[in-house]
Each structure stands twice: as structure tokens, then as C-alpha cells.
Amino acid sequence: MKNAVVICEFNPLHIGHAKLLAKARETGAENVICVMSGNAVQRGELACLDKYTRARHAVLAGADAVVELPAEYTLSAAPMFALGGVKIANNVRDAVLVFGSECGDLDALARLAALTDDKEVNAKIKEAMKNGAGYPAAVAEATGESALLGKPNNTLGMEYIRAIINTGRKISAYTIKRDNSPDDKAPHGYPTSSALREASKTGVSPDPSMLPPFVINDFEKHATDDAKFYAVLRYILTSGKRSGIYDDAEGLCNRLSRAAGQAETYEGFCSLAAAKRYTRARVKRLALNVAVNNTYSHSQLAEKPVNFVNLLAVAEEKADVLSEIDLPVAVSRRTRAPFAGDFAVTARVDALFRSARYSYDDPLPFKK
């Protein structure tokens, strides 16, 4: 195995992520290649920092290269998010997909991945979701594995393995047990990115033991501003009807428009739009899919080939790692131009980020 591939978001990158990158290297890989969400993340939010800054953090923390997971996969539930990452990983030569999980048990996750493709289990999953369960809870209920699938990284790990199986087992998988115990670098235990983001909204400075110094500098400079984001999102959601949006069902887009018309804050909007049948995560993802006019269907997205990868960062001394990717690698606006159709949803997410968060440069992604 020459290349370790890590599917990630690093929103923001903390010391637990840095440890995962180090452990990926310890598997014997010569190179660590990250497939990272861009300016929108799987929770249905804009990232706390722009994609080039977060990719630079990944290289400084030990990655050799970072390529972008297209936004149409990022703004999806776990199965399609995992499938998008695995499609890219399948194009990395001699690769293993490395991921963290709470259980650290690859065999258990593989057993569950096979079980979820059983017709009877799949029908139970769909029925549970129809009755209002979120995807992880629906899978846990249908398989009777709430202890394992009550943990988010176990669920995502299962989906990685399922995607590997369903795309022809072109790569292998390796899981690392997440270590949430305190150590000398994290005296209070490893943090979660969501906790760090929530703290930043209240003006609390991050504990220097939790984030590398090169992350703290950027993270404190760009505190998340839900008010600015919601002002843009609210305008879009109330400015006309949308049709054919990814993951819309039973008039859910109309529900979002009504909620945006009534709610004065983003938190209020999420509370109004969510319901027993519609989780907050789904509502937030759908709102962003409306905002960027993502009209892919589930089947189109599942069958969509990966035609190129967009490079976000690469260690200058490891630029030869790009030859390990069997796809055209775009490194600038000019080299992305031939793939404009494939990049369309991602480009609209980038424009939304610049409007609702902050502007940033589109640099050549070679980093020391």
C-alpha cells in the first residue's frame, strides 16, 4: 500500500485530526491524500473557514495533498457523501481508505455494511425514515445495532465500506479507533469540531491545546456569523419557488420558504422548518441545495462519474504525489475551465461562501 486516502472536512482541523493523519502515515503509506469537503460541509452549513485555508492546515498537519469533494456529494446524507469520497479514492493508485471510528472494528462495520444492502433491512430503513427517523437512527433501528450505529463515525465508516463494496472493491479500508482520552496535548480530552465552532460564536477563544497554532490564527480571524449567512439564505429561500432540487420531497422546499418568511434568525428558521419527519440536518442541507440550485437526482449522483479532481493544496516537496491520481488534476481557474459542468454546483457554493462568509483568494495550491 503506497497511498493512504482520508475523507474529511477539518471544520476546523484540531489535534484529533492531526493524530489521524499521523496514524494514516503509520500504516506504511508513503503518501497521505485527503479528499476534503469544500466551502459547504455535510451538516448543511458553510464551512467555518474557506477550503484553501483548511487544505493548507491539512498539509501543515501532515497531509501530502488535499483534493476537493464536489459540493453535490457534500450536501448529501452519509451514503452519498461516502460514495463521492470513495469514487475519488478509487482513482488513487495502490490506495487504502483510512478513517477513524469509535469502535475501531473493521469486521463489525463490514458486517453492517453488507446487512444494509439486504432488501428486507433496506425496506425497514426506508420505513423508519418515512416515520421521521434520521438516516443513522433508521439504520440502527433496522439492523438492531444501536450501540454501534449510535456513534456518528461508526455510521460513516460503515458507509465507506458499503461504497467500497458497491463500486467494485477497487481499494481496501483501514479503521483507527478514535481516542477521546486525555493526554498531555489535550488535557481535557480531544475536542469536536462542532464544539469549537459553537464556542467561537459566543466569543470564547479556543484552548491552545485543542488546535494547532496555525489553525487558531485563522479560526479566530473569521468567527462564524450566522446572521450574515441567514440574511443571504433567507433572501434566496423567499425569492421564488424551486423545483427539482436534490432531496426535496413532499413539498419540503415550500416548508423551508414559509419558515424563512417567518423566522428572523437562522436558529429560528431551523426550529420552524424541522419536524419529526425532517431532521435539522436534512433541513439545513436542503436549504443550501436550494441556495445553489443543486438539481441532481439521487440516481444521477450515484451514477455520475468523476472526471477530474480539484486540487486545494499539496506539499511543495511532494508535488509528484499528483501522479498517483489517475484523473486530470486541476490546479487553477484555467485548468478547471474544461470541467465547468462538473464544477458548477461547487462554483455556486463558492460564490455563496464569498457572499455570506468572507472573500478569499483562489491561489495556486502549492504549499511549503
- Per-residue pLDDT of 155-189, as tens digits, reads 999 999 999 999 999 999 999 998 754 443 443 45
pLDDT, residue 190, reads 64
The structure's pTM equals: 0.94
Tens of pLDDT along 108-130? Answer: 999 999 998 888 888 888 888 87
> Per-residue pLDDT for 214 more than 50?
yes
Q: Once rounded to an integer, what is the mean pLDDT over residues 54-62?
A: 97
What CA–CA distance (Å, rounded) separates 266 from 273? 10
Share of the chain above pLDDT 70, in %: 96
Tens of pLDDT along 283-324? Answer: 999 999 999 999 999 999 999 999 999 999 999 899 899 999
Q: Once rounded to an integer, what is the mean pLDDT over residues 40-55?
A: 96
Query: Could you tell me the sign of the dihedral formed by the alpha carbons of 101, 103, 108, 112, in that order?
Result: negative
> Per-residue pLDDT for 199 more than 70?
yes
Q: Once rounded to an integer, what is the mean pLDDT over residues 35-42?
A: 98
Q: What is the mean pLDDT of the chain?
A: 91
Q: Are 315 and 367 in contact (CB under 8 A)?
A: yes
pLDDT, residue 189, reads 55
Fold for domain 3-224+299-367? Rossmann fold (3.40.50)
Buried residues in 185-200 as b, exposed as e (16+ CB within 10 A): ebeeebbebeebbeeb
Q: What are phi and psi of 14, to 5 degrees?
A: -120, -175
Numbered ranges of CATH 3.40.50.620 in the chain: 3-224+299-367
**Bigger pLDDT: 117 vs 62:** 62
Q: Are 212 and 138 in contact (CB under 8 A)?
A: no
* Look-up of cell digits 472526471: 307
